A and B are shown apart, each in its own frame.
Chain A
């Protein structure tokens, strides 16, 4: 019975480990970009975010070909697109070649009488024809007249002109040697649309490999020509590989570092093995909790989780190095529990975050730390063999002690430093925070820049302004798009917007097509009206036989469907703007702003919205995505400030409650405040503007650093010289493991990991040093006299 009681915790622990193992074996690990994309608070924003994750944008690959000369690049562009068109992986391949454009031109020209919004019954009366043809003839007098005249015999009413007016403000990419290129002509450009969903990263990875293979297989390729690819799917694939690689590397490096350090301190493989138990348990418990709570575990969470190695191993270090005897055990465990509570208070604050990655980190760390402490408290003492000696490093210990005793002399310096850093922070208050969402993007700066360059040149870049609505079916969606289009066309004439895109521009609704067909007169009637309309005009009816034929063809043909667009750029436009969803269709109509000096000008979305509402489109929403994301980001920053503030308050309240003394609580809290101020100041001086992750890092500094301050406080309360020395050694070791594991994160090439690593690594070192500096002067027996008399 007694035996059972003694080993009950160990048995329970083993059972728990087994349960964790079972859960983890069934866990899905993901590594896409979404963890640090905030969850949008409104359904509307969420819908858009989803669209970006899975919709057409996530399925576009922008390809650049560099090196060689313009002719060679154009040849490669043509060969590559020809090769890729053969493959089933791509829905669309565009490189701006004449053949490409010819398809779209033919679509627009052949179907002009079904596509043109100007076609109505009025236009094909005698009067309407006279006006339309008169206007076309007048256009011939302009500087482009001699180019336009080719259209005259078949398009005397100028429907092509009406159609082109709809595309105003959209720019084709520049063209060099007959294919799309960057503005300076140094890169050939292609646009690919993959068949695979953007979220299917495995399929995207295979698709990207196909492109590389196709490029490599082009015969007689110049050796210095290179393929570049960018786009959401490219980012997803590369950052997954990056995150996966980093997580393994970081975990291995942290483990090696911690094991090495512990061996150095313990000089006992048994103690080392035991020390790793809380950490391993914590890690497993953390992953299990996240898996159960979120249904999946993000790679970045695991990346952050490597810091668990540094934090969870601390408890064992405190236990083995301080080795509390019967007299001090109560105080020791109290301090340890308190330390755990303050840490957990910090991590719990993360649960309020809108970023799935941070929430996962909060759960992971909270559960992991609690598990680690439970194992340290209830399992380790039973497993520790009685004869293992207390790790003792007399010389190192004595050296550290001297340093610690000398530390309080630096108080004034610390005060000065903190004041200075506070001043720096206040002076930079206006640009303290980085408000751009891209600061958290796991994609490297260079890749982001390439993406911006390519998408700017392809004119595919700025989906900033959108008019959005939903419809029950395709016909309804297209009809709504046409009604909105009428309003937007008027706004474009007034100069409020430069133009807009709509799926109805390439495929009008069935109703409109039928109405236009009905508006076209029968051949005899048309011939008669035309003759009457052309009296007095320099144009003769008998030269317009092509026009009569074309009208009759359009009048009697079957209406256009999506199938008629296959293979053209119009199909790409249509599919990207009209998106089928589970229950309805989402219709996106991008609005194009005017440009001045190469910069886009703002669109007054209130005005556009009001005009659309006045036009009878009640359910349409006009969105400025940039403003939305900025507002979203600001709200997250505010939220983060609130939850870190609450976390800090909770920690302070805990200290007050357990230490039962304001002075002692402040003594514990002051070094942490100084550490936070100094880290912030250092970051600002280094030219970094702070993101949410820095804030989280600072919160962790407080959560972790509070442990040091607490142990300093508790040693001061009791403490023989031997105990003080052991405490010092344990604190320094614990600090080194944390700094080591966060330092590893700081070396990561994933920005979010690096930010956290730098902030916490630096902050915890400072927290330890400052705790020593601000600790009450020790009253141990071998206290050297000079300290007190020091100036």
Chain B
């Protein structure tokens, strides 16, 4: 039953892609430009959100799910706090990445781990509305409308694209609502983001 289930899901994905591609032509017509989106995003200086992430791994019959909180403050600080199923925190501040798990902290420099950089620079650059930072690392395509847009990021560096083939970031106006990673080996992860209204 399960492989069939997977096939169905893949089918749906392809369908979704087609719909989105159809949206592309519409967006061109609306002259919805990357620069405008970036400006919109850059206006948000800080934000908090809850997330649910599902990782679809070929080795596993069902996706692994995790959830927690996200926070961002411009220009380059981002924190991802996973609460379930295991507590874990990842703090990206400038060039330093700090991982905290089981009460232990580990700090590494982003430039020593290009494969980690491939993951985090995309979402941080988008949240910050930093077009330059994004385009340095990825080829960037924008599709959709301001109310429902999607950024397609494709890593420029071969060392990165060997790991992930693309990142899809979706949102509405100045808010990021989903982040999906497509891995080079066919696995993927999808994160749904629900912004928390600030007090």
Asked whether A147 and B57 contact (CB < 8 A) given A139-B86, A140-B64, A168-B104, the answer is: no
Bound together, the chains give a CA A495 to CA B187 distance in angstroms of: 37
B59 touches A543 (CB 8 A): yes
Please judge, given known A-B contacts A539-B60, A543-B59, whether A143 and B80 are in contact too, CB under 8 Å: yes
Contact of A142 with B101 at beta-carbon distance under 8 Å, contacts A149-B187, A174-B109 already known: yes
Query: Could you mark each residue 111-143 of chain A with 1 if its beta carbon is under 8 Å from any beta carbon of chain B, else 0?
Result: 000000000000000000000000001111111
Kindly list chain B residues whose C-beta atoms are within 8 Å of the C-beta of A142.
Answer: 66, 82, 86, 88, 101
Q: Does A153 contact B (CB under 8 A)?
A: yes
Q: Contact string, B70-104, partner A, CB cutoff 8 A, digits 1/0?
A: 00000000001010011010100000000101011
Tell me the nearest residue of chain A to B101, going by C-beta: A142
Interface flag for A524 (CB, 8 Å): no
Given that A142-B86, A142-B101, A539-B59 are contacting pairs, would A175 and B65 also be in contact in the complex, using a CB cutoff of 8 Å?
no
Give the residues in chain A near B109, CB-CB below 8 Å.
174
A594 to chain B, nearest CB (A): 9
A468-492 CB contact bits vs B (8 Å, 1 = yes)? 0000000000000000000000000
Q: Say yes or no for A343: interface residue by CB 8 A criterion.
A: no
Residues of B within 8 A of A6 (CB): none
The closest CB in chain B to the CB of A540 belongs to B61
- Which residues does chain B contribute within 8 Å of A153, judged by CB atoms? 59
Q: Which residues of B from 106 to 135 have beta carbons under 8 Å from A? A: 106, 109, 111-112, 115-116, 119
**Given contacts A140-B55, A141-B82, A175-B112, are A146 and B64 in contact (CB under 8 A)?**
no
Are B187 and A538 in contact (CB-based, < 8 A)? Answer: no
Kindly list chain B residues whose C-beta atoms are within 8 Å of the C-beta of A143.
80, 82, 88, 90, 99
Q: Least Cβ distance of B164 to chain A in Å?
A: 8
> Judging by beta carbons under 8 Å apart, are A140 and B57 in contact?
yes
With a cutoff of 8 Å between Cβ atoms, the chain B residues found around residue A175 in the complex are 111-112
> Which of B66, B90, B99, B103 lies in contact with A141, CB distance below 8 A?
B66
Interface residues of B in 31-63 (CB under 8 A from A): 53, 55, 57, 59-62
Q: How far is the CB of A589 from chain B (nearest CB, A)?
A: 20
Number of A interface residues, CB 8 Å? 24
In the assembled complex, the Cα of A539 lies from the Cα of B59 at a distance in Å of: 6
A269 in contact (CB, < 8 A): no
A95 within 8 A of B: no
State the total of A-B contacts with C-beta under 8 angstroms: 66
A543 and B59 alpha carbons, distance in the complex (Å): 7
Q: Which residues of A contact B60 (CB under 8 A)?
A: 137, 140, 538-539
Q: A141–B59 contact, CB under 8 A? A: no
Q: Closest approach, in angstroms, between the C-beta of A186 and any C-beta of chain B? A: 14
The dominant DSSP class at the B interface is strand
Q: Which residues of B contact A495 (CB under 8 A)?
A: 103
Bound CA span A146–B189, Å: 8
Q: Does chain B have a CB within 8 A of A145?
A: yes
Chain A proximity of B5: nearest CB distance (Å): 12
Supposing A168-B104, A495-B103 touch, asked if A146 and B62 sit within 8 A by C-beta, the answer is no
User: Does A257 sit at the interface, judged by CB under 8 A?
Assistant: no
- Say yes or no: is A781 at the interface (Cβ < 8 Å to chain B): no
CA distance A142 to B59 in the complex (A): 16
A721 at the interface (CB under 8 A from B): no
CA distance A153 to B189 in the complex (A): 19
**Separation of A538 and B99 alpha carbons in the complex (Å):** 27
Does A223 have its Cβ within 8 Å of any Cβ on chain B? no
Chain B residues with CB under 8 A of A139: 86
Q: Whole-angstrom distance from the CB of A265 to the nearest CB of chain B?
A: 69
Assembly CA distance A538 to B109 (angstroms): 34
Chain B residue nearest to A175 (CB atoms) is: B112
B61 touches which one: A144, A146, A149, A538 (CB < 8 A)?
Answer: A538
Across the two chains, which residue of chain A brings its CB closest to B68? A143
Q: In the complex, what distance in Å separates the CA atom of A22 from the CA atom of B103?
A: 70
Contacts of A137 in B (CB 8 A): 60, 64
Q: Cβ of B116: which chain A residues have Cβ within 8 Å of it?
A: 147
Tell me, yes or no, whether A208 is within 8 Å of chain B by CB.
no
A141–B115 touching, CB < 8 Å: no
Give the residue name and chain of the A residue nearest to B62 (CB). Answer: A538
Given A140-B64, A141-B82, A174-B109, check contact A149 B57 (CB 8 Å). Answer: yes
Q: Does A335 contact B (CB under 8 A)?
A: no
Residues of B within 8 A of A539 (CB): 59-61
Tell me the nearest residue of chain B to A168, going by C-beta.
Answer: B104
Chain B residues in 8 Å Cβ range of A538: 60-62, 64
A175 and B95 alpha carbons, distance in the complex (Å): 13
- Kindly identify which residue among A138, A144, A176 contacts B111, using a CB–CB cutoff of 8 Å: A176
Closest to B64 in A: A141
Q: How far is the CA of A145 from the CA of B53 in the complex (A)?
A: 11
Contacts of B53 in A (CB 8 A): 141
Bound together, the chains give a CA A540 to CA B60 distance in angstroms of 7
* A152 interface contact, C-beta 8 A: yes
Whether B88 lies near A146 (C-beta < 8 A) is no
Shortest C-beta distance, A499 to chain B (Å), equals 9
* A193: min CB distance to chain B, Å: 24
B183 touches A146 (CB 8 A): yes
Q: Chain A residues near B61 (CB, 8 Å)? A: 538-540
CB distance from A791 to the nearest CB of B (A): 73
Residues of chain A within 8 A of B86, CB atoms compared = 138-139, 141-142
In the complex, A139 Cα to B64 Cα: how many Å?
9
Determine the distance from Cα of A147 to Cα of B108 in the docked complex, in whole angstroms: 15
Pick the most buried of B90, B104, B183: most chain A CB atoms within 10 A of its CB.
B104
Q: Mark A504-530, 1 if CB is under 8 A from B, else 0.
A: 000000000000000000000000000
Task: Give the shortest distance, in Å, between B116 (CB) and chain A (any CB).
Answer: 8
Q: Which of A141, A172, A176, A543 is the one whose CB lies under 8 Å from B55?
A: A141
Residues of A within 8 A of B90 (CB): 143
> Which of A142, A144, A495 has the most chain B CB atoms closer than 10 A to its own CB?
A142
**Given A137-B64, A138-B85, A141-B66, A152–B103 Cβ distance below 8 Å?**
no
Which residues of the other chain, A, contact B64 by a CB distance below 8 angstroms?
137-138, 140-141, 145, 538
Known: A145-B64, A147-B115. A152 touches B59 (CB 8 A): yes
B112 touching A141, Cβ below 8 Å: no
**CB under 8 Å from chain B, chain A span 162-188:** 168, 172, 174-176
Chain B residues near A138: list those with CB within 8 A. 64, 85-86
Residue contact B55 to A146, C-beta cutoff 8 Å: yes
Chain A, Cβ-Cβ closest to B106? A168
Min Cβ gap B194→A in Å is 18
Shortest CB distance B181–A (Å): 7
CA distance A138 to B189 in the complex (A): 15
CB-nearest residue of chain A to B89? A143
User: Which residue of A140, A141, A146 is within 8 Å of B181 (Cβ)?
Assistant: A146
The CA-CA distance from A360 to B60 in the complex, in Å, is 75
Shortest Cβ distance from B54 into A: residue:
A141
Chain B neighbourhood of A145, CB < 8 A? 55, 64, 66, 189
Min CB distance B4 to A, Å, is 16
Whether B65 lies near A141 (C-beta < 8 A) is yes
Q: Is the CB of B187 within 8 A of A146?
A: yes
Bound complex: CA of A147 vs CA of B99, how far in Å? Answer: 14
Residues of A within 8 A of B80 (CB): 143
Question: For the complex, what is the distance from the CA of A207 to the CA of B62, rounded to whole Å?
Answer: 59
Residue of A nearest to B103 (CB): A495
A168 cross-chain contacts in B, Cβ below 8 A? 104, 106
Which residues on A sit within 8 Å (CB–CB) of B187? Answer: 146, 149
**CB of B103 to closest CB in A, whole Å:** 7
* Binary B-proximity of A325-350 (CB < 8 A = 1, otherwise 0): 00000000000000000000000000
Select from chain B the residue with minimum beta-carbon distance to A173.
Answer: B112
Nearest chain B CB to A769 CB, angstrom units = 61
Besides A140-B64, A495-B103, 5 other A-B contacts (C-beta < 8 A): A138-B86, A141-B64, A142-B66, A146-B119, A175-B112
Ranked nearest first, the 6 interchain pairs of A and B with the lowest CB-CB distance are A141-B66, A538-B60, A538-B61, A141-B64, A175-B112, A143-B90
8 A–B contacts from the bound complex (CB under 8 Å): A139-B86, A141-B65, A142-B101, A144-B99, A146-B57, A149-B187, A538-B60, A540-B61
Binding site for B on A (CB under 8 A): 137-147, 149, 152-153, 168, 172, 174-176, 495, 538-540, 543
